[in-house]
């Protein structure tokens, strides 16, 4: 009987034969021949001969043993392939490994090329494949002195616990080099390495040894040019990075906190990028988690010397000059070619003439090839040091890991490869002459004046908004001026909106929320719109209106609803959005007929889309936004049922380093509120994580959190938590709509598990939204959830939530609260 390669019987037989005949060690009398395989002790990695796709050439390599798609992480003879299957990897009497063709025994294709002065008996040499993927050569199994190891000579991949960097004692330089092509592991043109020349090492991606991308210097949290590392580095369930820089060596170790994750960093020749890839077992493929360069500003020196790149200047050229500098080639600059960079302005003398420094925020620090570092100096001493040296062009902190600024880096000669981030980055202080310094001082004073005046103007504006100071066809010019001075949104007159909605006819009414009604409309150009008409009876209307306009106009993401404009005349306050024909997620999820249209794949995609939108709000947008009212009715669906988060009336802006905030005015929908917010007025990004956990469980169950669930259980969390403790949590699944097929059970169970991690009582224990996205998209081992929040019972002896048991809360999950007072 012939067995299919994918049949269970074939797989069992394959692994049985493989593991029963394999070993992890080569000895003097047991070489490795083509056709045999070494397998590490826990079967994580395998080493043997292989041929790349569409190639007949043979190589010795290491690959993941538990990944169904053969993925090579190291190649010995990458530039010297075998042309047949007669290869032998042999350990000789000197303690060196040799690869040769048994048909040509005198010709060696590769060797470890070591000089061993050890007096260990020759019979005890051995080479072993470890579960870390490292292939090591040592005296014997019991003698762990490493004579040679594959991790010192990487190919194109950096795997967990593997170093990249320089040993200053021996001169050994560990760096990654791309494959020439997917079917040729020969050394390609791209190289990733730490440049340890000078006093400030930095990470570079080169093409033919010309810099393509620069990660920048290490600042204690991550590379200066990779602000995402601050998020990835704190991912408790996923990655971590260790960086060492001392007199003996400088290196980076990238390791996985969660050993069930399979991930690697590679240099990709075809894309010309550095990539972080993770394996998705369910989808049987590698998924790109991060790559660089990722945009035009990531390319080294895109704006030339003394130029700064910023892709967030929408509609403008991404390059600008540093303060006190002007384009060297104005014509090229006009044609959007900044490669010539900038030069000092004619009046720009910056030595001994009353000069000083201008602070630039959220910056990728310049190339440190001509920089100096002194970890003993504070920022004031650093400024004094730079000011005394006319060749010093700027300075910054060397370390920001503790939230402060420690140590000093000073730059000399040209400043190259600067960029401005929307969030993250560091403060950089650039040297300017007295004229520029005076100009920037005026701007700072003006900014301080604005910070004082804006609250006063806002208060005055709120008073004016209560007065009917213009007729029905007139425009609210005062409000229009203030709004358009800060955000780019279009004002629509009241008459335009009346015409578009047919005078707010009931036939066009598509929804109603806490602050008013929503109408479908059509503008004179044929564009469909959704008009959110705020209720005059709402005491919160004006504040939420201003909040929503100023926030949404700045946010652009495929999973956020798009604001098209606003209208404010007489007593009317309206927001104009893109029209989404399928309205709210609640209209599908909680409707007995429409719920069947959401199969599991669609529900999972909706959940992931919502999570990605929240990651943008919390980490990736120019502003750090806490939504505070994430729920099913505030997730709209477009024509393809893609989710878009809406209703930012209650959202709050956080500073980049702000962790939490307290309010005495708790607003939102109670069933989605975290306990620390509902009871104490304390909110943070973890408050939104709690709301997402509730929403994720609703998506799985197809029921509102306020529904009745079971005897002795007041709310949804209590119901789910009880079933989790009884190992019956799959009972919550909406089988009526999803059917009884068990095809997706493992993915559904993982989502329930993630939902419970999100609704843990302890905010600190909840994952971040970036961690949630990773957990949703990767089959990894998850930590067990701790006590879930808001668990109440209606009879004695049941579970209670200690944080809120004294508050006398009852089943009011679907009530919109506006004035709960925190303790």
User: Could you please report the per-residue DSSP string of 311-337?
Assistant: TTSTTS-SEEEPTTEEESSHHHHHTT-
DSSP secondary structure string, 548-577?
HHHHHTT---TTBPPEEEEEEETTEEEEEE
DSSP string over 520-558: EEE-TTS-EEEEEEE-TT-TTHHHHHHHHHHHHTT---T
- Residue 683: name the closest of 725, 626, 619 by CA: 626
User: Both tokens of residue 150?
Assistant: 């594959």
How many CB atoms lie under 10 A from the CB of residue 197?
A: 11
Check: CB of residue 223 under 8 Å from CB of residue 192: no
> Any binding-site annotation on 532?
yes
The size of the chain, in residues, is 823
Exposed (0-12), middle (13-18) or buried (19+): which is 253, by Cβ within 10 Å? middle
Tokens representing residue 183 in the block:
């079917």
Which DSSP category does 429 fall into?
A: E
3-state secondary structure of 351: coil
Q: How far apart are CA 131 and CA 40, in angstroms?
A: 5
Contacts of 26 (CB under 8 A, 6+ apart): 32, 38, 89, 90, 91, 97, 126, 127, 128
What residues contact 643, with CB distance under 8 A and at least 6 apart? Answer: 559, 585, 606, 609, 610, 613, 635, 636, 637
Dist. CA 410–CA 323, nearest whole Å: 17
Within 13 Å and on the Cβ side, how many CA atoms surround 598? 28
Distance of CA 713 to the CA centre of its chain: 37
Give the span between the Cα atoms of 725 and 791, in whole angstroms. Answer: 13
115 CB neighbour count, 10 Å cutoff? 8
User: What distance in Å separates the CA atoms of residue 11 and residue 14, rounded to the nearest whole number?
Assistant: 5
Residue 491: count of CB within 10 angstroms of its CB: 19
* 32-33 and 490-491 beta bridge pairing: unpaired
Rounded Cα–Cα distance for residues 390 and 127 (Å): 57
Measured distance CA(202)–CA(412) in Å, rounded:
16
Could you give the CA distance from residue 727 to residue 731 in angstroms, rounded to a whole number? 9
- 29 is known as an active-site residue: no
Using alpha carbons, select from 716, 703, 588 the residue that is nearest to residue 643: 588
Q: Identify the active-site residue in 417, 476, 629, 647.
A: 629
- DSSP string for 388-416: H-TTEEEEE-SB-TTSS-BSEEEEES---
Give the C-alpha separation, 693 to 742, whole Å: 23
| Angle in degrees, CA 214, 215, 220, rounded to 5 | 150
Farthest-apart Cα atoms in the chain, separation? 101
Question: What phi and psi, each to the nearest 5 degrees, are found at residue 617?
Answer: -65, -45
The three-state secondary structure class of 654 is strand
Q: Is 52 helix (H, G, I), strand (E, B) or coil?
A: coil
CA distance to 234, 471, 626, 645, per residue, from 613 (Å): 20, 40, 12, 7
CB-based burial label for 547 (10 Å; 0-12, 13-18, 19+): middle
Cβ atoms of 98 and 110 within 8 Å: the answer is yes
* Catalytic residue set: 629
Binding site for ATP, by residue number, is 532
């Amino acid at each position: 009987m012939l067995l299919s390669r994918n049949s269970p019987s074939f797989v069992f037989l394959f692994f049985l034969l493989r593991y029963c005949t394999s070993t992890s060690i080569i000895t003097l009398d047991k070489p490795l021949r083509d056709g045999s395989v070494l397998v590490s002790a826990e079967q994580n990695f395998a080493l043997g001969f292989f041929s790349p796709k569409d190639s007949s050439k043979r190589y010795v390599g290491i690959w993941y043993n538990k990944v169904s798609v053969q993925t090579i992480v190291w190649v010995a003879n990458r530039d010297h392939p075998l042309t047949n299957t007669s290869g032998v990897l042999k350990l000789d009497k000197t303690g060196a490994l040799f690869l040769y063709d048994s048909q040509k025994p005198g010709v060696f294709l590769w060797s470890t090329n070591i000089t061993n002065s050890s007096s260990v008996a020759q019979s005890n040499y051995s080479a072993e494949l470890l579960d870390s993927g490292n292939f090591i050569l040592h005296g014997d199994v019991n003698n762990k002195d490493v004579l040679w190891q594959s991790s010192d000579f990487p190919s194109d991949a950096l795997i967990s616990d593997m170093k990249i960097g320089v040993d200053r004692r021996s001169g050994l330089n560990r760096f990654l080099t791309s494959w020439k092509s997917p079917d040729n592991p020969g050394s390609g043109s791209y190289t990733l390495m730490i440049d340890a020349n000078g006093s400030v090492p930095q990470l570079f991606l080169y093409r033919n040894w010309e810099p393509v991308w620069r990660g920048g210097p290490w600042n204690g949290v991550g590379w200066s040019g990779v602000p995402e590392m601050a998020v990835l580095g704190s991912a408790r369930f996923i990655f971590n990075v260790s960086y060492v820089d001392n007199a003996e060596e400088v290196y980076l170790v990238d390791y996985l906190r969660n050993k069930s994750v399979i991930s690697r960093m590679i240099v990709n020749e075809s894309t010309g990028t550095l990539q972080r890839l993770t394996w998705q077992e369910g989808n049987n493929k590698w998924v790109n988690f991060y790559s660089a360069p990722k945009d035009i500003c990531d390319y080294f020196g895109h704006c030339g010397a003394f130029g700064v790149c910023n892709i967030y200047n929408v509609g403008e050229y991404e390059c600008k000059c540093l303060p006190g500098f002007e384009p060297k080639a104005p014509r090229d600059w006009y044609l959007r070619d900044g490669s010539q960079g900038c030069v000092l302005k004619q009046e720009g003398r910056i030595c001994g003439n009353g000069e000083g420094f201008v602070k630039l925020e959220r910056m990728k620090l310049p190339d440190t090839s001509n920089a100096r570092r002194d970890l003993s100096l504070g920022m004031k001493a650093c400024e004094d040091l730079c000011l005394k040296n006319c060749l010093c062009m700027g300075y910054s902190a060397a370390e920001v890991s503790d939230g402060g600024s420690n140590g000093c880096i000073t730059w000399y000669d040209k400043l190259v490869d600067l960029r401005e981030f929307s969030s993250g980055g560091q403060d950089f202080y650039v040297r300017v002459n007295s004229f520029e310094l005076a100009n920037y001082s005026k701007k700072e004073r003006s900014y301080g004046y604005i910070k004082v005046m804006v609250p006063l103007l806002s208060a005055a504006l709120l008073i004016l908004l209560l007065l009917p100071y213009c007729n029905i066809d007139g425009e609210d010019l005062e409000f229009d001026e203030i709004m358009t001075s800060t955000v780019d949104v279009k004002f629509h007159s009241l008459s335009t909106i009346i015409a578009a909605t047919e005078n707010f006819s009931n036939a066009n009414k598509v929804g109603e929320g806490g602050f008013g009604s929503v109408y479908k409309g059509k503008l004179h150009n044929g564009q469909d719109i959704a008009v959110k008409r705020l209720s005059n009876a709402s005491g919160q209307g004006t504040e939420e209106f201003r909040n929503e306009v100023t926030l949404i106009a700045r946010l652009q993401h495929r999973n956020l609803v798009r604001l098209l404009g606003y209208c404010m005349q007489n007593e009317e306050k309206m927001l104009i959005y893109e029209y989404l024909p399928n309205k709210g997620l609640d209209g599908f999820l909680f409707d007995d007929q429409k719920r069947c249209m959401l199969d599991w794949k669609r529900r999972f995609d909706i959940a992931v889309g919502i999570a990605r939108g929240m990651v943008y709000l919390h980490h990736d947008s120019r502003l750090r936004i806490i939504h505070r009212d994430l729920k099913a009715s505030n997730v709209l669906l477009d024509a393809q049922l893609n989710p878009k988060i809406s209703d930012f009336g209650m959202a709050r802006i956080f500073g980049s380093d702000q962790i939490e905030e307290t309010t005495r005015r708790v607003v939102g929908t109670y069933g989605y509120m975290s306990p620390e917010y509902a009871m104490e007025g304390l909110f943070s990004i973890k408050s939104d994580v709690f709301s997402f956990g509730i929403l994720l469980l609703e998506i799985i169950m197809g029921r509102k959190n306020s529904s009745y669930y079971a005897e002795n259980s007041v709310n949804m969390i209590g119901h789910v938590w009880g079933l989790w403790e009884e190992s019956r949590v799959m009972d919550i699944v909406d089988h009526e709509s999803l059917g009884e097929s068990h095809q997706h059970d493992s993915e559904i169970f993982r989502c329930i598990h993630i939902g419970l991690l999100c609704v843990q009582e302890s905010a600190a224990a909840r994952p971040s939204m970036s961690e949630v996205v990773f957990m949703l998209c990767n089959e990894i081992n998850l930590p067990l959830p701790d006590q879930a929040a808001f668990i109440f019972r209606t009879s004695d002896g049941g579970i209670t939530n200690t944080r809120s048991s004294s508050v006398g809360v009852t089943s009011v999950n679907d009530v919109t609260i506006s004035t709960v007072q925190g303790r």
